């Protein structure tokens, strides 16, 4: 348990740095860009996010699965990277050739084709470096994972500052900066690839097996991306690019919780795949601790994120979010509530892997994706950006419920439901009290420490169980 927590903390920190660079850049973007410019930046990066999963076509899950069952690692690495070289080259060439058409289609008659050309290059480099990060996870190298992530973030941040603040070249500078970051981590990845790939080890038979295992994950990931990002595209369709610009900073800040969940998964999936005994006990205890932890993060943001943002310019020479974008503060807790359900969804993954039920994943996420699209069209006309946030949160709930019911039939994780329900009610109560400005700093701190006590209680319970049973 201690080793798991030690390693997972490095993965979470590395993943947060790698994915949260857009959050770290919010003070630059929202204080320099107009609402329209930030909306365009957001939508193009949504395109990149979608395309990244098409570029990988389920290879991530296959790499983890076959690494754990195969002795010939070089054969696995070679087959995967040769396949990626061919497909990534083809995909990037297609995007570059049709960049103007894609821009007009995706941005609704706004032509930023040259930015989509840069995106194609970013996608090519990332298709290799992101797989190398998975290799670090499977080979239990959290330090290398952390270093690679840190270098990427440092280069990207400095390049953004140079292109946007010093050279003042607008959103083009943001894309050039991200390209520099992608190149930096790709260059670090090259020695890892060269040391593990040998063209003589390529196996078409193995590649077919890898693709057959990984492809069922691709539709489910695409459906997940629809849940994560369709709100902004539908906002553009139903409102305008400025509304997308206002909505996006709130999404970025709320995604801090999403980064924690995704970072947890980086260590969680290799960990439970390697368990050989006491699976249910270990998985149940870690699941409870993680749920209480993210509830505590949610409660903190409910109680304190607004004053932190509003008064940040009292302590710095800038606001965390530019004042023109403060309208998005209210959607942050709404989205975070939805991410709690997403966490529960991922915590139910062990039985999916143990019993080879991956073919069910596309169905669960399809339900979430369809509900997300429908809810966005229903709620945005009525409540604007708040409707989009509610649509996203509810779709996570709708996605998770059938997954939870299905997996419980053959592998039941023992959650501390009584205390989790109490924590949920405390969070909802805090949200409404904050919404109507009933809370002051003292009552907010009181509510937060009540929530923190729930987390400490669960940690103490787990510690006592470890001493009593010595199950790890």
- Residue-level pLDDT at 83: 92
Cβ 434 vs Cβ 301: under 8 Å: no
Percentage helix, strand, coil for the chain under 3-state DSSP, each rounded to 5:
85, 0, 15
Please list the pLDDT of the chain residue by residue as tens digits (472 residues): 555 555 556 666 666 666 667 778 899 999 999 999 999 999 999 999 889 888 988 787 788 778 777 778 889 889 999 999 999 999 999 999 999 999 998 888 778 999 999 999 999 999 999 899 888 877 877 788 888 888 988 999 999 999 999 999 999 999 999 999 999 999 999 999 999 998 888 989 888 888 888 777 778 778 888 888 899 999 999 999 999 999 999 998 998 898 888 878 877 877 787 777 788 888 888 899 999 999 999 999 999 999 999 888 777 777 889 889 999 999 999 999 999 999 999 999 988 888 888 778 888 989 999 999 999 999 999 999 999 999 999 999 999 999 999 999 888 999 999 999 999 999 999 999 998 889 999 999 999 999 999 999 888 877 776 666 554 5
Residue 161 carries which DSSP code?
I
- CA R_g for the chain: 22
Residue 163 carries which DSSP code?
I
Task: Give CA–CA dist 77/199, Å, rounded.
Answer: 10
Which residue pairs from 463-468 have beta carbons closer than 8 angstroms and sit at least 24 positions apart in sequence? 465/281, 465/285, 466/1
- Residue-level pLDDT at 303: 96
- Cα dihedral across residues 282, 286, 291, 296: positive or negative: positive
Cβ 358 vs Cβ 342: under 8 Å: no
Task: Give CA–CA dist 434/122, Å, rounded.
Answer: 41
Q: Measured between alpha carbons, how far apart are the two ends of the chain, in Å?
A: 7
Tokens (6 digits) for 185: 């981590």
- Residue-level pLDDT at 12: 63
Task: Give CA–CA dist 416/395, Å, rounded.
Answer: 24
Task: Give CA–CA dist 203/209, Å, rounded.
Answer: 10
Tokens (6 digits) for 293: 């932890």
- Residue-level pLDDT at 314: 75
Tokens (6 digits) for 415: 């959650």
Closest alpha carbon to 130 in 213, 59, 207, 35: 59
Cβ 235 vs Cβ 388: under 8 Å: yes
- Residue-level pLDDT at 74: 87
Dihedral angle of Cα 334, 337, 343, 348, to the nearest 10 degrees: -120
Cβ 138 vs Cβ 63: under 8 Å: yes
- Residue-level pLDDT at 10: 60
- Residue-level pLDDT at 424: 95
Task: Give CA–CA dist 336/427, Å, rounded.
Answer: 11
- Residue-level pLDDT at 304: 95
- Residue-level pLDDT at 2: 53
Task: Give CA–CA dist 105/151, Å, rounded.
Answer: 34
Tokens (6 digits) for 66: 């076959």
Cβ 234 vs Cβ 384: under 8 Å: no
User: Residue 58: is it exposed, middle or buried by C-beta count within 10 angstroms (0-12/13-18/19+)?
Assistant: buried
Task: Give CA–CA dist 319/38, Å, rounded.
Answer: 16
Return the residue matching tokens 């980064």. 259
Residue 413, phi then psi, degrees to nearest 5: -90, 130
Q: Which residues contact 37 (CB under 8 A, 6 or more apart)?
A: 170, 171, 245
- Residue-level pLDDT at 468: 60
Task: Give CA–CA dist 378/190, Å, rounded.
Answer: 48
Task: Write the CA distances from 386 to 327, 350, 378, integer angstroms.
Answer: 10, 34, 12
Tokens (6 digits) for 154: 């440092």
pLDDT digits (tens, 9 = 90+) for 3-16: 555 555 666 666 66
Closest alpha carbon to 55 in 126, 132, 152: 126
pLDDT digits (tens, 9 = 90+) for 116-166: 999 999 999 999 998 998 888 778 777 888 888 889 889 999 999 999 999
Altogether, the residues listed in the chain come to a count of 472
> No. of H helices and E strands in the chain?
20, 0
Task: Give CA–CA dist 355/311, Å, rounded.
Answer: 51
Task: Give CA–CA dist 66/221, Å, rounded.
Answer: 19
């Amino acid at each position: 348990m201690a080793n798991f927590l030690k390693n997972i903390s490095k993965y979470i920190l590395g993943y947060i740095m790698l994915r949260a660079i857009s959050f770290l850049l919010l003070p630059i973007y929202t204080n320099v860009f107009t609402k329209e410019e930030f909306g365009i930046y957001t939508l193009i990066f949504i395109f990149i996010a979608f395309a990244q999963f098409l570029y990988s076509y389920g290879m991530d899950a296959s790499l983890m699965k076959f690494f754990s069952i195969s002795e010939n690692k070089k054969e696995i690495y070679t087959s995967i990277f040769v396949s990626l070289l061919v497909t990534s080259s083809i995909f990037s060439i297609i995007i570059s050739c049709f960049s103007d058409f894609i821009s007009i289609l995706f941005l609704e008659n706004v032509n930023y084709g040259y930015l989509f050309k840069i995106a194609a290059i970013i996608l090519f480099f990332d298709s290799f470096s992101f797989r190398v990060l998975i290799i670090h996870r499977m080979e239990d190298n959290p330090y290398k994972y952390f270093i690679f992530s840190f270098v990427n973030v440092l280069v990207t941040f400095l390049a953004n500052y140079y292109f946007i603040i010093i050279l003042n070249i607008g959103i083009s500078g943001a894309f050039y900066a991200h390209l520099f970051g992608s190149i930096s981590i790709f260059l670090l990845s090259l020695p890892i690839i060269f040391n593990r790939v040998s063209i003589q080890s390529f196996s078409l038979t193995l590649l077919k097996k890898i693709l057959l295992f990984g492809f069922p994950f691709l539709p489910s990931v695409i459906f997940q991306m629809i849940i994560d990002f369709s709100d902004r595209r539908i906002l553009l369709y139903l409102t305008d690019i400025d509304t997308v610009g206002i909505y996006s900073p709130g999404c970025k800040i709320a995604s801090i919780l999403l980064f924690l969940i995704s970072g947890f998964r980086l260590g969680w999936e290799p960990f439970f795949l390697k368990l050989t005994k006491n699976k249910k006990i270990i998985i149940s205890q870690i699941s409870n601790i993680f749920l209480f932890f993210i509830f505590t993060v949610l409660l903190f943001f409910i109680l304190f994120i607004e004053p932190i943002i509003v008064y940040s310019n009292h302590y710095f020479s800038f606001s965390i979010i530019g004042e023109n974008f403060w309208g998005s503060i209210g959607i942050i807790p709404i989205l975070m509530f939805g991410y709690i359900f997403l966490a529960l969804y991922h915590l139910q993954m062990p039985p999916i892997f143990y019993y080879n039920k991956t073919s069910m994943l596309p169905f669960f996420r399809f339900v979430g994706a369809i509900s997300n699209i429908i809810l966005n069209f229903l709620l945005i006309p009525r409540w604007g950006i708040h409707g989009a946030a509610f649509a996203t949160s509810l779709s996570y709930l709708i996605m998770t419920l059938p997954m939870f019911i299905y997996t419980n039939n053959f592998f039941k994780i023992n959650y501390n439901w009584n205390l989790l329900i109490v924590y949920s009610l405390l969070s909802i109560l805090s949200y409404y009290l904050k919404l109507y400005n009933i809370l002051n700093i003292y009552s907010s701190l009181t509510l937060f420490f009540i929530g923190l006590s729930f987390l400490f209680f669960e940690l103490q319970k787990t510690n006592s169980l470890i001493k009593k049973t010595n199950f790890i």
